[in-house]
Amino acid sequence: MISKTVLVTGGAGYIGTHTVLQLLLAGFKTVVVDNFDNSSDVAIRRVKELAGEFGNNLSFHKADLRDRDALEQIFVSTKFDAVIHFAGLKAVGESVQKPLLYYNNNLNGTITLLEVMAAHGCKKLVFSSSATVYGWPKEVPCTEEFPLSAANPYGRTKLIIEEICRDVYNSEQDWKIILLRYFNPVGAHPSGYIGEDPRGIPNNLMPFVQQVAVGRRPTLTVFGNDYNTIDGTGVRDFIHVVDLAYGHIAALLKLDESNIGCEVYNLGTGKGTSVLEMVRAFEQASGKKIPLLMAGRRPGDAEIVYASTEKAERELNWKAKYGIDEMCRDQWNWASKNPYGYGSEEDSTD
Ligand code: NAD
Ligand code: WQD
């Protein structure tokens, strides 16, 4: 059994909660820091419960990563073997409206974290990057060597943080850093006890579909049906969030190898699924009809994006197990048990 201690920033969020649960079950002591900007303490409580006796290895600090004193205190009280850094703002549209908020939160949060880590001699990091850094790829599958670009401030924060990490490693080669580029995380833990709970109107496809299915929204607007794809709608690489969580355990194990430097890995399934195919799979899983409204393309959207998974398979010994039917089954299980996420109907902004 592993007895290492990991700091998870943003561990109360969607991907964070699923990863923290797997870390606990794998025997890691896990400390979460989150400011609840896009999450709640209910999520942390549920993770603790799901982990059973391993839940005793979870502790939590409510703090903003940019609060250097608070972060210092956390590092003074605990010696960490590694950090998994999820904390950040992630809404693409909002980042266009409020670029300074995104640069301030995502960049300053990361820089403060890296400085405090260095000061305490903790130099192993797993960072949440995104397939958004491939922009509109010229071909698919996307390999890690593809040219990178950013179509919005959110994506630019990911590009800049990737560069910061490379520079930090180049300056001090005892750092070990893994940049994970997630494709499109969906689904929920099969218990239906934790899942995605976005604030306000969802930006992403599956949270929106889920809210239509539970009756919170009347129709799904499909952004573009004139793409050069199987049915005209955009194609993405949807990945079950539980598979993604396991990818982080694989990355942590990789960090224990000598001289890995600063490495980047795609976490996807390698399969492309269109928006309409995903909607049909969800209708099957839920037995609910999702009314559609066909609309124009969403600015900044790419036509087809899916991952090359070879590098992660080869070097992390990790491969996604679940397909879209399981993703939709588990998403519906979570949605039907928690139609208003972690809150109640009264808390919702509908
Ligand atoms: P999320 O919003 O559910 O989780 C992020 C968490 O970070 C939230 O709990 C939020 O309260 C916290 N947070 C934000 N700023 C903070 C700060 N300054 N200090 C402390 N806590 C802070 O998002 P998620 O979907 O779980 O994403 C996790 C990470 O993965 C993010 O960095 C995101 O950009 C990245 N990512 C997500 C996706 C996706 O589609 N979900 C895809 C690619 C990459
Ligand atoms: C998928 C497809 C939409 C909503 C985004 C970020 C990326 C990463 C994952 C964080 C597209 C279509 C969507 C809707 C629709 N996040 N769609 N109606 O755009 O691939 O990636 O989330 O890093 O950075 O950019 O995901 O779920 O928003 O869209 O038709 O209401 O669904 O046009 O084709 P995307 P998405």
Query: What DSSP line would sit under 119-182, residue for residue?
Result: HTT--EEEEEEEGGGG-S-SSSSBPTTS----SSHHHHHHHHHHHHHHHHHHH-TT-EEEEEEE
What are the DSSP E strand ranges found in 71-123? 82-85
Split at pLDDT 50, 70, 90, the class of 47 is very high
Q: What pLDDT was estimated at residue 348?
A: 77
pLDDT at 2 over 70: no
Give the position, in ligand 1's atom list, of the atom nearest the Cα of 85.
Answer: 32
Q: Give the tens place of pLDDT for each residue, 112-159.
A: 999 999 999 999 999 999 999 999 999 999 999 999 999 999 999 999
Q: What pLDDT was estimated at residue 345?
A: 80
Q: What pLDDT was estimated at residue 98?
A: 98
What is the identity of the amino acid at 86?
F
pLDDT at 1 over 60: no
Q: Give the tens place of pLDDT for each residue, 182-197.
A: 999 999 999 999 999 9
Q: List, chain by chain if needed, residues with CB within 6 Å of any ligand 1 atom.
A: 10, 12-16, 34-39, 64-66, 86-90, 105, 109, 128, 130, 182, 185, 204
Catalytic residue (one of 154, 227, 246, 342): 154
Split at pLDDT 50, 70, 90, the class of 347 is confident
Q: What pLDDT was estimated at residue 51?
A: 98
Question: Which residue among 92, 157, 204 is best mutated to probe the pocket of ligand 2, counting the most ligand atoms within 8 A of its Cβ?
Answer: 204
Split at pLDDT 50, 70, 90, the class of 26 is very high
Average per-residue pLDDT in the chain?
97
User: Catalytic: 246?
Assistant: no
Q: Report the alpha-carbon distance of residue 37 to residue 93 in Å, rounded.
A: 17
Q: What pLDDT was estimated at residue 198?
A: 86
Closest residue to atom 4 of ligand 1, CA basis? 13
- As a whole-number percent, the residues of the chain with pLDDT over 90 amount to 95
The mean per-residue pLDDT over the stretch 70-99 comes to 98
The mean per-residue pLDDT over the stretch 169-190 comes to 98
The mean per-residue pLDDT over the stretch 151-180 comes to 98
Q: What pLDDT was estimated at residue 12?
A: 98
Strands 273-274 and 235-236: antiparallel
| CATH architecture of the domain with residue range 5-185+238-268 | 3-Layer(aba) Sandwich (3.40)
Q: Report the alpha-carbon distance of residue 80 to residue 65 in Å, rounded.
A: 16
What's the CA-to-centroid distance between 228 and ligand 1, angstroms?
Answer: 32
Q: What pLDDT was estimated at residue 184?
A: 98
Q: Give the tens place of pLDDT for each residue, 287-332.
A: 999 999 999 999 999 999 999 999 999 999 999 999 999 999 999 9
Q: What pLDDT was estimated at residue 308?
A: 99
3-class secondary-structure state, position 58: strand
Q: In the 8-state DSSP scheme, what is residue 173?
A: T
Q: What pLDDT was estimated at residue 346?
A: 77
What's the CA-to-centroid distance between 238 and ligand 2, angstroms?
Answer: 10
Q: Give the tens place of pLDDT for each residue, 259-281.
A: 899 999 999 999 999 999 999 99
Give me 58's structure tokens: 């979870």
Give me 165's structure tokens: 């990490």
- pTM of structure: 0.98
- Of the ligands numbered here, which is closest to the C-alpha atom of 87? 1
Domain ranges of the chain: 5-185+238-268
